[in-house]
Structure 1
Amino acid sequence: MLLNGWGGLGGTGIIECMRRNPDRRKVRVVCADASPKPVLSIKADGFFILPRGDHPSYMDSLVDLCQREGVDVMLPGSGPEIVAISRHLARIRSEGMAATVDEYDRIRPLMDKAEAYRALQDEDYTPKFEHVADASSLLPAIHRMGYPEYPVCFKPSSYVASGGSRGFRVLRKSNDAMTPVVSSDEIDYGSVSRMSETKKRLDLLVMEYLPGREFSTYTLSNHGKMVYCVPNLRECMVGPRTFEASTMPADDKITNICKSIVEKFGLSYNTNIQLKESVDGKLKLVEINPRMGGSIALPAAAGINLPYMAVKMALGEPVPQNLKQARIRMIRYVSELFVEV
């Protein structure tokens, strides 16, 4: 199988999910990315450089690589690759391969977060939001969200442009000109005011700020029917990355929200749905990622190997039902790796 675009923190964990699969199947895992990834080069059975998913030569390069390496299933992990592969599933299937991603028409609404939020705007779990397309609308939208009495946040509406929480910012009354210097995800009103004067088109989702606990939920589904919903509590974050998290008991509120989203968009395979508590403790939607989440190794270690089950689903194989997970905690730590130069 091929992991493409998984050069971030979770890539090695997904490799281990495949190798430690419950069927004890011998699996060969090759990885590809747009730039060298020494850790993946060592951990995988092969590593290759491919163009970005939005490059004109990407699909030809991808198919050539998969044919050479005997790949049966592709698991795309970043926005450009997800879009490219979903648009060309017919070609991939004609070559005798499969991919753990839906057809583009199914995931297209998720590629524009404003469109996805509008599709869910009547749901209790959808936070207050406004889509800002032009600079002159930015400040009025921020004030309608409650600033300066309440913090507000914004992020790019494009799924591809905002991968890895790129562009996410929180605006608080207490923030000043030094705030963006010392914090990568906070911004001050002066900077936002200057943004509102730009001549460039904006494409931002302005939202209420959610200060409570955050849950990263991993689902496995088949054409809108949810098979598994496994929530994790994110306990320690460094930027957008989870360094400590715990499995948790089944939660009906989380399950019902995820079931609603999966059914609304008719999703299949792995979807990562991120939820956070509002100021009054209500669960609200943060993100819908039509892919595995970066900490999906946690539920696998707890007994529910969702990445491997998505591969089985893509191959047309039955997946086990009603598996239970153990209560465990994941702690990530930094370790040195030395490679020749």
Structure 2
Amino acid sequence: MNKLTILITTVGGLTSPDLIYALKNNGEREVELHGIDAFEWAVCRTMVNCFDVSPNSAEDERGFVDFIKNYIEKYHIDIIIPCGNEDNLVLAKYKDQIKIPILVGDYHHLISAYDKGAVYHSLQKHLPQHAPKFQIIKTLDDFYQALDFLDFPKNKIVIKPRFGRGGRGVYIIGNQFNFDHFFHKKPENEVDIATIENILKQQKTFEELIVMEYLTPPFVSAYSLCHNGENLLTLEHIREWGSASQTYRGVVSYNEELEHLCSKVIEIFNLTYANNMELAYTQDGRLVLFDLNPRLGASSSIDTDLGFNFPYLAIKLLLGEEVKINKSGLPSKSRFLRYFSFLWL
């Protein structure tokens, strides 16, 4: 097969080495990898064939797009893999102005998928058994109504931005704290009601927030390969140890029931190439979707060693090449560990 020259954006993520590993170990063709990031000391600057500092897509859309257009001309790039929500949205918005294939879906589909309010409303309509109980708030009065709706303080609740990402700004609200838990364990983003009230009282109105029911383990990450609303494969990752943005120990398996659920969500939002869904359980045992990421998931690349290279298979879909999925070889409970390493610059 012909060699591919690939541009990866935002190569400063902690999981970027996994993506680069997957692309280099695709088993079919030679790849030349280029990486860009708005941060000079991006972790993967030494892991790619060429690295450059780019404008920040969240702060300067036009500058970022112009930089990309110049870069692909200079280095004869074949395809672009956007990493990070902002890069994903900007490149989807301007992809008609870029001459080469980009691993990103249509802009209006992405906007709907990144909007947690829209996702939850769609789930209530199409898959109510997998929709969380929630309310969207933008005033203090809205907040108090949400507390009543979710039966607080009897139940813990969660508050987070409607358009947040990567676990940023997500807080559990509870009122059961003790000395040992507070001072002898690592913080878990749990705060008391008075803290949140004091913050919200500082402004008469604020950006839309979501107040939703508290979900319990096990936390499930679903990684899917799809094309134009059709799901081709989903693998389940159970988080045994980690946080909302990183899994340090987990178990990978094929779960046909989960794949069926993900297929319905992919069809509703007409998702394509690769995506990640985050799910957990309600107090009454329902499996609920609480986060939808219409892009390559942070941990999907590690499945390369199990024979399912999500990044490379997504590239094949992007290029119109045949993708064969042999589900007879899917894993049953393979456990992984992730850890920090270091690089000398």
TM-score normalized with structure 1 length: 0.91
Q: SS of the residue aligned with 1:299?
A: helix
Q: Is this contact kept in 2: 1:219–1:228, CA < 8 A?
A: yes
Answer yes or no: is 1:70 the counterpart of 2:73: no
Following TM superposition, by how much is the alpha carbon of 1:280 offset from its aligned partner in structure 2, in angstroms? 2.6
Q: Among all aligned residue pairs of Structure 1 and Structure 2, give the percentage whose two residues are the same amino acid.
A: 25
Answer yes or no: is 1:333 the counterpart of 2:320: no
Aligned counterpart for 1:283 among listed residues 284, 287, 297: 287
Instruction: Give the partner amino acid of 1:232.
Output: H
Answer yes or no: is 1:271 the counterpart of 2:296: no
Q: SS of the residue aligned with 2:121?
A: helix
Q: Deviations over 1:237-270 (max 9, x none)?
A: 0452111111113231x11210111000111000
Instruction: Give the partner amino acid of 2:153.
Output: P
Following TM superposition, by how much is the alpha carbon of 1:29 offset from its aligned partner in structure 2, in angstroms? 1.2
Aligned counterpart for 1:59 among listed residues 37, 54, 65: 65
Alignment-derived partner of residue 127 in structure 1: 132
Choose 224-233 or 137-146, whichever is displaced more: 137-146
Distance of 2:343 and 2:326 partners within structure 1: 39
Alignment-derived partner of residue 166 in structure 1: 168
Q: SS of the residue aligned with 2:296?
A: coil
Q: SS of the residue aligned with 1:329?
A: strand
Following TM superposition, by how much is the alpha carbon of 1:175 offset from its aligned partner in structure 2, in angstroms? 4.2
Following TM superposition, by how much is the alpha carbon of 1:200 offset from its aligned partner in structure 2, in angstroms? 4.0
Alignment of 1:149-228 (within 5 A): 149-158=154-163, 162-175=164-177, 183=187, 185-197=189-201, 198-228=203-233
Distance of 1:170 and 1:184 partners within structure 2: 8
Distance of 1:314 and 1:192 partners within structure 2: 44
Following TM superposition, by how much is the alpha carbon of 1:173 offset from its aligned partner in structure 2, in angstroms? 1.8
Distance of 2:11 and 2:263 partners within structure 1: 26
Distance of 1:108 and 1:59 partners within structure 2: 18
Distance of 1:99 and 1:310 partners within structure 2: 11
Q: Deviations over 1:283-309 (max 9, x none)?
A: 100111011111112222211111101
Following TM superposition, by how much is the alpha carbon of 1:129 offset from its aligned partner in structure 2, in angstroms? 0.9
Q: Is this contact kept in 2: 1:134–1:202, CA < 8 A?
A: no
Distance of 2:69 and 2:248 partners within structure 1: 35
Instruction: Give the partner amino acid of 1:255.
Output: E
Distance of 2:111 and 2:66 partners within structure 1: 22
Choose 258-267 or 280-289, whichever is displaced more: 280-289
Q: Assess, with a 3 A threshold, how the Cα gap between structure 1 residues 176 and 129 changes in structure 2: closer, same or farther.
A: farther
Aligned counterpart for 1:15 among listed residues 8, 11, 20: 20
Alignment-derived partner of residue 305 in structure 1: 309
Aligned counterpart for 2:96 among listed residues 87, 90, 93: 90
Following TM superposition, by how much is the alpha carbon of 1:176 offset from its aligned partner in structure 2, in angstroms? 8.3
Instruction: Figure out how many residues of one structure are paired with residues of the other and give that number.
Output: 331
Q: Is this contact kept in 2: 1:269–1:313, CA < 8 A?
A: yes
In structure 2, the gaps of 5 or more residues are: 1-5
RMSD over aligned Cα atoms: 2.1
Q: SS of the residue aligned with 1:203?
A: strand
Distance of 1:37 and 1:261 partners within structure 2: 37
Q: Deviations over 1:17-71 (max 9, x none)?
A: 1110032x00111111110235301111121111121313110011111222222
TM-score normalized with structure 2 length: 0.90
Instruction: Give the partner amino acid of 2:106.
Output: E
Q: SS of the residue aligned with 1:247?
A: strand
Alignment-derived partner of residue 3 in structure 2: none
Q: SS of the residue aligned with 2:73?
A: helix
Instruction: Give the partner amino acid of 2:176.
Output: S
Q: SS of the residue aligned with 1:40?
A: coil
Alignment-derived partner of residue 112 in structure 1: 115
Following TM superposition, by how much is the alpha carbon of 1:332 offset from its aligned partner in structure 2, in angstroms? 1.1
Q: Is this contact kept in 2: 1:149–1:173, CA < 8 A?
A: no
Q: Assess, with a 3 A threshold, how the Cα gap between structure 1 residues 213 and 4 changes in structure 2: closer, same or farther.
A: same
Q: Is this contact kept in 2: 1:106–1:265, CA < 8 A?
A: yes
Answer yes or no: is 1:229 the counterpart of 2:234: yes
Following TM superposition, by how much is the alpha carbon of 1:179 offset from its aligned partner in structure 2, in angstroms? 5.9
